[in-house]
């Protein structure tokens, strides 16, 4: 598969976009970052639908094998599990947006996380993670890694002294998210990285809620960034994919593992992702706008108990978010004044939001975490992880802001009846 960038005009690897002054904006990058050449001169990246690749003759095969044996950069592969031109084009677009040395696409966000950790963690080491990480990430570290003799230590999000004290001599990586799910806690990336570097351990941050347009943790010294590309990056609730990004040597080690573990994306998914990425700049701007406006509306409403959104001064991490983020995203979490049943009445009353899991699409989605993601737990168990019956997570889409506010308002007023 070709690795030549379409916009390259000289031998330095510099592209037309990187030479622009001032730097191109988010929508320009969403459409053109690391755009790849294709043999058809097609504007849209072609879908290369194949599971295997042919060689011209045995000499062509020998040359390929020798190049791979000596670690030379290759313009092709031999089998679909090891690479695909459409997948590679999506990876390079993501790398350009994240300003990463390299990117690797996976079949899901969890596949990205598990492959990274399987690659980096031998038996007997320790992982430290913050307590507000995605519950499936916590489950993987606390249950599956434990079976392999890998321990997991959990610390409270935002307590950097506790983070420092939790790191052991056998700790290999510190894991967090920014913002987190569902309370939108935001890392102070400078402090987070400083603690990890003091102990010479790697850092991984899940930045799904932020996207590369609202924050780029690599620029703050984080080693690995992961995304559920299912969410904002795809943007239309029609694909499953994940990505890991970082410096090329590290990403290449994950690429080798992906070839063994098999968590590969298909070219149709990569094409959908590329199409979604082209409007990322436009969509994130509207998500940010809707998120801020709806959070402010909810915070002032008499039927709302508390709102969590990094763009609000009342949020515990507002100062760090304001310093590091260019926008605060489209997810707003809040509690209704009342119990689980009263909150369900509100959720059933709204008209625009769809009741569904996930986030980051063009449609607004709403859920009660106690009835969706944490239903299998008892109320006592849910409280232990901070999930109350009156908690609502609202993932705002790109609908008109006032329409969303009016709909939420009528549903909240209905609770007074």
Could you read off the pLDDT of 84-115 as tens digits, one per residue? 999 999 999 999 999 999 999 999 999 999 99
Task: Confirm whether 188 is a catalytic residue.
Answer: no
**Which of these is catalytic: 202, 231, 255, 283?**
231
Q: What is the pLDDT of residue 75?
A: 76
Q: What is the pLDDT of residue 8?
A: 38
Q: What is the pLDDT of residue 10?
A: 34
Q: Answer yes or no: are the C-beta atoms of 369 and 401 closer than 8 Å.
A: no
> Which two structure tokens, joined as six digits, stand for 174?
């510190």
Average pLDDT over residues 183-187: 97
Task: Confirm whether 76 is a catalytic residue.
Answer: no
User: Residue 103: inside a domain, yes or no?
Assistant: yes
- Provide the CATH number for the domain around residue 296: 3.90.1150.10
Is 225 found in the same domain as 106?
yes
> Does the pLDDT of residue 312 top 50, yes or no?
yes
Is 249 found in the same domain as 300?
no
**Which of these is catalytic: 188, 206, 223, 317?**
206
Q: What is the pLDDT of residue 376?
A: 81
User: Residue 51: inside a domain, yes or no?
Assistant: no
* pLDDT tens digits, 252-307: 999 999 999 999 999 999 999 999 999 999 999 999 999 999 999 999 999 999 99
* Burial call 296-322: b when 16+ CB within 10 Å, e when fewer: bbbbebebbeebbbbbbeebebbebbe
Task: Confirm whether 134 is a catalytic residue.
Answer: yes
Q: What is the pLDDT of residue 16?
A: 54
User: Residue 36: inside a domain, yes or no?
Assistant: no
Mean pLDDT is lowest, of 147-151, 168-172, 382-386, for: 382-386
Q: Is 153 helix (H, G, I), strand (E, B) or coil?
A: strand
Q: What is the pLDDT of residue 25?
A: 92
Is 230 found in the same domain as 125?
yes
The residue from 253, 276, 299 where one domain ends is 276
Average pLDDT over residues 380-408: 94
Domain of 360, in residue numbers: 280-414
User: Residue 391: inside a domain, yes or no?
Assistant: yes
Q: How many independent structural domains does the chain possess?
A: 2
Q: Which residues pair with 203 in a beta bridge?
A: 174
Is 270 found in the same domain as 305?
no
> Does the pLDDT of residue 2 top 60, yes or no?
no
The residue from 231, 258, 276 where one domain ends is 276
Averaged confidence pLDDT in the chain: 93
Is 288 found in the same domain as 190?
no
Task: Confirm whether 81 is a catalytic residue.
Answer: yes
**Which of these is catalytic: 88, 134, 232, 309?**
134
* pLDDT tens digits, 192-234: 999 999 999 999 999 999 999 999 999 999 999 999 999 999 9
**Which of these is catalytic: 37, 76, 81, 191?**
81
Spatial neighbors of 397 by CB under 8 A, at least 6 apart, are 287, 290, 330, 361, 362, 363, 364, 365
Average pLDDT over residues 48-57: 96
């Amino acid at each position: 598969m070709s690795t030549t960038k379409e916009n390259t005009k000289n031998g330095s690897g510099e592209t037309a976009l990187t030479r622009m002054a001032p730097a191109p904006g988010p929508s320009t990058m969403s459409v053109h970052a690391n755009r790849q050449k294709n043999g058809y001169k097609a504007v849209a990246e072609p879908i290369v639908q194949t599971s295997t690749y042919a060689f011209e003759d045995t000499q062509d095969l020998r040359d390929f094998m020798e190049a791979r044996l000596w670690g030379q950069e290759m313009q092709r592969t031999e089998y679909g599990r090891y690479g695909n031109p459409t997948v590679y084009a999506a990876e390079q677009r993501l790398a350009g947006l994240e300003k990463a040395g390299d990117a690797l696409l996976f079949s899901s966000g969890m596949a990205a996380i598990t492959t990274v950790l399987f690659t980096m963690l031998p038996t007997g080491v320790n992982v430290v993670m913050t307590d507000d990480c995605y519950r499936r990430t916590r489950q993987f570290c606390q249950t599956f890694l434990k079976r392999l003799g890998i321990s997991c230590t959990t610390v409270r999000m935002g307590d950097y002294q506790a983070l420092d004290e939790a790191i052991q001599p056998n700790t290999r990586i510190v894991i967090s998210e920014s913002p987190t799910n569902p309370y939108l806690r935001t890392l102070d990336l400078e402090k987070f990285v400083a603690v990890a570097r003091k102990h010479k351990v790697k850092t991984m941050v899940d930045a799904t809620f932020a996207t590369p347009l609202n924050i780029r943790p690599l620029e703050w010294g984080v080693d690995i960034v992961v995304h559920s590309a299912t969410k904002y990056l795809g943007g239309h609730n029609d694909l499953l994919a994940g990505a890991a990004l970082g410096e090329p040597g590290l990403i290449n080690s994950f690429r080798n593992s992906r070839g063994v573990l098999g968590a590969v994306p298909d070219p149709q998914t990569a094409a959908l992702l590329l199409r979604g990425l082209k409007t990322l700049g436009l969509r994130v701007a509207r998500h940010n706008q809707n998120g801020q406006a709806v959070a402010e509306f909810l915070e002032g409403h008499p039927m709302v108990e508390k709102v969590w959104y990094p763009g609000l001064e009342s949020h515990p991490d507002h100062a760090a978010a304001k310093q590091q983020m260019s926008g605060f995203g489209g997810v707003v979490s809040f509690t209704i004044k009342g119990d689980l049943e009263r909150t369900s009445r509100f959720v059933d009353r709204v008209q625009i939001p769809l009741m569904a899991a996930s986030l980051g699409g063009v449609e607004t989605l709403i859920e009660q975490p106690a009835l969706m993601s944490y239903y299998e737990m008892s109320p006592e168990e849910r409280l232990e992880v901070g999930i109350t019956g009156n908690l609502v997570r609202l993932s705002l889409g790109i609908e008109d802001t006032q329409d969303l506010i009016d709909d939420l308002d009528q549903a909240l007023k209905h609770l007074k009846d």
